[in-house]
């Protein structure tokens, strides 16, 4: 089972991501604040979907923590900010070794296909045979 962590403060965007994520063999965790993030990080994260502009949670720091805990984790950065187009921001995303960068305004079709591809490429941190005993 793949453990997916969604760190998106904006409710509308978060609900879009939740609705478009393929559901089979996923354990979905939502973190809207630091407390929820700490709780979510008790489990290995296989796929991180992070809003890089979340006010309460620094998206860059969230990515660094998740990657430090599980270097193999796949990750998607979502941003609605005008910073998205800056070379510095895109360089930071590359430095963080993010697998995907999308603007929050992309169509549901593009977002859904991107999520499906990342989920398919994600290897569970806990093999299915051990997941039932964990």
pLDDT tens digits for range 49-104: 998 776 556 778 888 889 899 888 999 988 876 666 677 777 777 788 888 888 88
Q: 131: pLDDT confidence band, cut at 50, 70 and 90? A: very low
pLDDT of 125 above 80: no
pLDDT of 9: 82
CA distance 120 to 2: 10
Of 94 and 6, the one with more pLDDT:
6
pLDDT of 116: 92
pTM for this one?
A: 0.83
Domain of 52, CATH number, reads 3.40.50.2300
Q: Is residue 133 part of a domain?
A: no
- DSSP for 2-51 reads EEEEEE---HHHHHHHHHHS--TTEEEEE-SSHHHHHHHTTS--SEEEEE
Domain that holds residue 87: 2-127
């Amino acid at each position: 089972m793949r453990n997916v962590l969604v760190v998106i403060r904006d409710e509308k965007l978060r609900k879009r991501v939740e609705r478009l994520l393929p559901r089979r063999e996923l354990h979905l965790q939502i973190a809207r604040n630091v407390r929820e993030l700490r709780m979510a990080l008790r489990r290995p994260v296989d796929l991180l979907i992070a809003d890089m502009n979340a006010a309460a949670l620094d998206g860059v720091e969230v990515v660094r923590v998740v990657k430090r805990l599980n270097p193999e984790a796949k990750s998607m950065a979502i941003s609605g900010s005008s910073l998205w187009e800056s070379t510095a921001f895109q360089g930071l995303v590359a430095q963080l070794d993010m697998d995907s960068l999308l603007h929050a305004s992309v169509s549901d079709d593009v977002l859904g296909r991107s999520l499906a591809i990342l989920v398919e490429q994600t290897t569970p941190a806990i093999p299915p045979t051990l997941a039932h005993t964990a």
